[in-house]
């Protein structure tokens, strides 16, 4: 497909889709427009001020709602619902079965309709779904609830990755994704406070664990209603951008060379993304995310129980969840800042984030079980190091947004990465055996192996990117801007002026 054909196809879809896409098509017809650095920075600050808080708080709620199961377990959910250890593990997996099955269909809906309205609608529905947990009385009921919650929440993270790619510059995206992904840590801290507070609620003999789901679900519904009125799907629909700033917000993305939002699904781009002979990054991204989330599937569901198994009370465990949550924020922001501060540091930062986690898991195995404050302190230090691996996943899933040209290819690679994310979370809980409390030896060793595989695959991916960049420089010379280049919806394999972020 030639550049002109791609432009014509993109224009046809834009005009048919909405006035928003028609405006972008008009911008593509004026390729000589430039945005000065001062204006670009000003618009970037506006995005950070108005859009980032919406993304961050929504992500806090998603993580909080998803992790409510672990806090409920501390306050008697497992006992009241008569759950066996194996059934509890399956509750973690069932969430990601729903996530895996519905991720691509939900991504299709978000791509073809107003992304902001889709996200808002789903948030409202999943808030209601979360509240229904308080009505569950057995494994069958809560299993169905967890599956449907996974279906609903599957839209959010892939949508936010893509939204970040169509609002922020490529050099800005790593730090921004790390910021909103780190809200998992804030959710852990807030979850600890909510869990701690529910321990003191005494009302009509309603068990404490039910209040976790009632409170979280109510807040989620109210927030979803807020998003309906505030959340944009592109710079052209952002209410906080006025007049020429809407156009400038699109023009400043010219250097990304990844195209703009395009509602048409292009089959050849799907094939290019899925076929490792055409582009190996898809299969590498899948397995990196799989091994990362294999760890998360176990540690994420059992982290509260791991802390409790060290000899802390339910209230103490809830409060210590705040410490581990804030530790995750620190690791995430450190890795994200490294990508913003130093050039070509994305993959190195992802590899480096695995090191603290590796040490943290080793400490759980190597330090003997004991009740002394010294042993508890060392093990808790290890627990605070364990969540650093989350930065690796955050930096990995954003790579399609930076290293894939063509909107369909970008969404497909993102879906492939999140497929690995889902499968890993499904498998991870089943290597943690309650009989091994508090060391969970099988689970910890399996996670250490996963870290080794991730490190090797990340290094391989960087080599693939670096060699392809060198080949293009050799054969086509240093890339230069071409008219309309940023708006053509060409894939990275078609656009020889495209260079991969390292």
Whether residue 28 has pLDDT greater than 50 = no
Instruction: Tell me which H or E stretch contains 500.
Output: none
pLDDT at 2: 43
| DSSP structure class, residue 493 | T
Please say whether the structural domain 55-247+266-475 has been given the CATH code 3.30.1280.10: no
Spatial distance between the Cα atoms of 273 and 280, rounded to a whole number of angstroms:
8
Spatial distance between the Cα atoms of 92 and 295, rounded to a whole number of angstroms:
13
Residue 260's φ and ψ, nearest 5 degrees, are -115, 180
| CA distance to 14, 169, 236, 363, 385, per residue, from 18 (Å) | 6, 24, 11, 56, 47
pLDDT at 263: 63
Contacts of 89 (CB under 8 A, 6+ apart): 301, 429, 430, 432
Determine which of 28-32, 86-90, 112-116, 391-395 has the lowest per-residue pLDDT on average: 28-32
Spatial distance between the Cα atoms of 137 and 122, rounded to a whole number of angstroms:
25
Range 473-477, long-range pairs (CB < 8 A, 24+ positions): none
- CA 134, 140, 144, 147 dihedral sign is positive
Q: Mind listing the pLDDT tens digit for each residue in 220-261?
A: 999 999 999 999 888 888 888 888 888 888 888 776 655 555
Whether residue 400 has pLDDT greater than 70 = yes
Contacts of 220 (CB under 8 A, 6+ apart): 61, 65, 123, 124, 126, 127, 130
Question: What are the tokens at 106?
Answer: 């939900």
Spatial distance between the Cα atoms of 459 and 359, rounded to a whole number of angstroms:
20
- Tally the residues of the chain: 502
- CA 246-157-104 angle, to 5 degrees, is 100
Q: What is the mean pLDDT of residues 187-215?
A: 79
Determine which of 7-21, 164-178, 310-324, 341-355 has the lowest per-residue pLDDT on average: 7-21
Whether residue 8 has pLDDT greater than 60 = no
Confidence band for 7, pLDDT divided at 50, 70 and 90: very low
Name the burial class of residue 145, with classes exposed (0-12), middle (13-18) and buried (19+) by CB atoms within 10 angstroms of its CB: buried
Give me the helices (H) in 398-440, please: 399-403, 407-427
Question: What are the tokens at 344?
Answer: 């070509």
Question: What are the tokens at 440?
Answer: 């969970």
Spatial distance between the Cα atoms of 51 and 279, rounded to a whole number of angstroms:
33
Whether residue 91 has pLDDT greater than 90 = no
φ/ψ region of 49 (left if φ > 0, alpha if ψ in -120 to 50, else beta) reads: alpha
Query: What count of other Cβ atoms lies within 10 Å of the Cβ of residue 334?
Result: 17
pLDDT at 258: 55
The position carrying tokens 């079980």 is 369
pLDDT at 23: 53
pTM of the model: 0.80
Whether residue 13 has pLDDT greater than 50 = no
pLDDT at 3: 41
Q: Mind listing the pLDDT tens digit for each residue in 53-85?
A: 999 999 999 988 887 887 787 778 888 899 887
Q: Mind listing the pLDDT tens digit for each residue in 136-194?
A: 999 999 999 999 999 998 888 888 887 888 888 888 888 898 899 888 888 877 776 77
Instruction: Tell me which H or E stretch contains 83.
Output: none
Spatial distance between the Cα atoms of 95 and 149, rounded to a whole number of angstroms:
7
Question: What are the tokens at 310?
Answer: 């060290």
- Is there a contact between 147 and 97 (Cβ–Cβ < 8 Å)? yes
Please tell me the chain's helix, strand, coil percentages from 3-state DSSP, rounded to the nearest 5. Answer: 75, 0, 25
Quote the radius of gyration of the chain (alpha carbons, Å): 23
- CA 140-302-107 angle, to 5 degrees, is 65
| CA distance to 134, 369, 486, per residue, from 256 (Å) | 46, 52, 7
Ranges of each domain in the chain: 55-247+266-475
Q: Mind listing the pLDDT tens digit for each residue in 291-302?
A: 999 998 878 767
Q: Mind listing the pLDDT tens digit for each residue in 462-480?
A: 999 999 999 999 998 887 7
Residue 242's φ and ψ, nearest 5 degrees, are -115, 145
User: What proportion of the chain, given as a percentage, has pLDDT over 90?
Assistant: 33
Q: What is the mean pLDDT of residues 470-497?
A: 78
Q: Cis omega before residue 32 (within 30°)?
A: no
Name the burial class of residue 374, with classes exposed (0-12), middle (13-18) and buried (19+) by CB atoms within 10 angstroms of its CB: exposed
**Which residue in 373, 337, 341, 362 sits closest to 449, CA to CA?**
362
């Amino acid at each position: 497909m030639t550049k002109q054909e791609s432009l014509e196809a993109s224009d046809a879809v834009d005009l048919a889709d909405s006035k928003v896409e028609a405006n972008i098509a008009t911008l593509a017809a004026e390729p000589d427009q430039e945005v000065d650095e001062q204006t670009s920075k000003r618009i970037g600050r506006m995005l950070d001020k108005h859009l980032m808080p919406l993304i961050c708080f929504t992500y806090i709620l998603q993580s909080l709602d998803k992790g409510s199961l672990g806090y409920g377990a501390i306050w008697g959910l497992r006992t009241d619902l008569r759950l066996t250890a194996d059934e509890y593990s399956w509750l973690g997996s069932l969430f990601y079965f729903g996530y895996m099955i519905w991720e691509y269909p939900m991504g299709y809906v978000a791509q073809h309709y107003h992304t902001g309205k889709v996200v808002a609608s789903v948030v409202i529905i999943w808030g209601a779904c979360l509240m229904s947990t308080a009505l569950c009385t057995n494994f069958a009921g809560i299993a169905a609830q967890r599956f449907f919650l996974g279906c609903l929440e599957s839209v959010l993270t892939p949508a936010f990755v893509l939204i970040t790619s169509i609002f922020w510059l490529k050099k800005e995206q790593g730090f921004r994704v790390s910021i909103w992904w780190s809200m998992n840590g804030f959710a852990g801290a807030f979850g600890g406070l909510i869990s701690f507070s529910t321990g003191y609620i005494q009302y009509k003999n309603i068990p404490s664990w039910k209040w976790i789901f009632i409170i979280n679900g109510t807040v989620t519904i109210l927030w979803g209603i807020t998003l309906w009125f505030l959340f944009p799907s592109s710079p052209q629909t952002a209410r906080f951008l006025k007049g020429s700033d809407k156009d400038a917000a699109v023009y400043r993305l010219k250097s990304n060379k990844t195209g703009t939002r395009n509602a048409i699904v292009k089959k050849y781009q799907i094939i290019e993304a899925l076929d490792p002979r055409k582009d190996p990054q898809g299969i590498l991204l899948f397995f990196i995310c799989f091994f990362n989330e294999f760890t998360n599937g176990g540690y994420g569901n059992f982290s509260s129980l791991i802390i409790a198994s060290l000899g802390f009370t339910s209230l103490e465990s809830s409060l210590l969840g705040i410490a581990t949550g804030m530790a995750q924020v620190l690791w995430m922001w450190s890795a994200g800042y490294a990508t913003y501060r130093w050039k070509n540091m994305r993959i190195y930062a992802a590899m480096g984030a695995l090191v603290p986690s590796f040490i943290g898991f080793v400490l759980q195995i190597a330090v003997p079980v004991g009740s002394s404050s010294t042993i508890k302190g060392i093990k808790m230090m290890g627990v605070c190091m364990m969540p650093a691996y989350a930065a690796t996943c955050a930096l990995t899933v954003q790579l399609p947004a930076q290293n894939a040209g063509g909107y369909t290819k970008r969404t497909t690679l993102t879906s492939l990465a999140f497929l690995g994310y889902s499968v890993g979370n499904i498998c991870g809980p089943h290597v943690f055996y309650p009989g091994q409390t508090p060391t969970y030896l099988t689970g910890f060793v399996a996670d250490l192996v996963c870290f080794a595989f991730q490190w090797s695959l990340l290094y391989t991916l960087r080599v693939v990117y670096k060699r392809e960049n060198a080949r293009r420089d050799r054969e086509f010379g240093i890339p230069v801007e071409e008219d309309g280049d940023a708006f053509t919806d060409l894939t990275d394999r078609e656009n020889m002026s495209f260079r991969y972020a390292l």
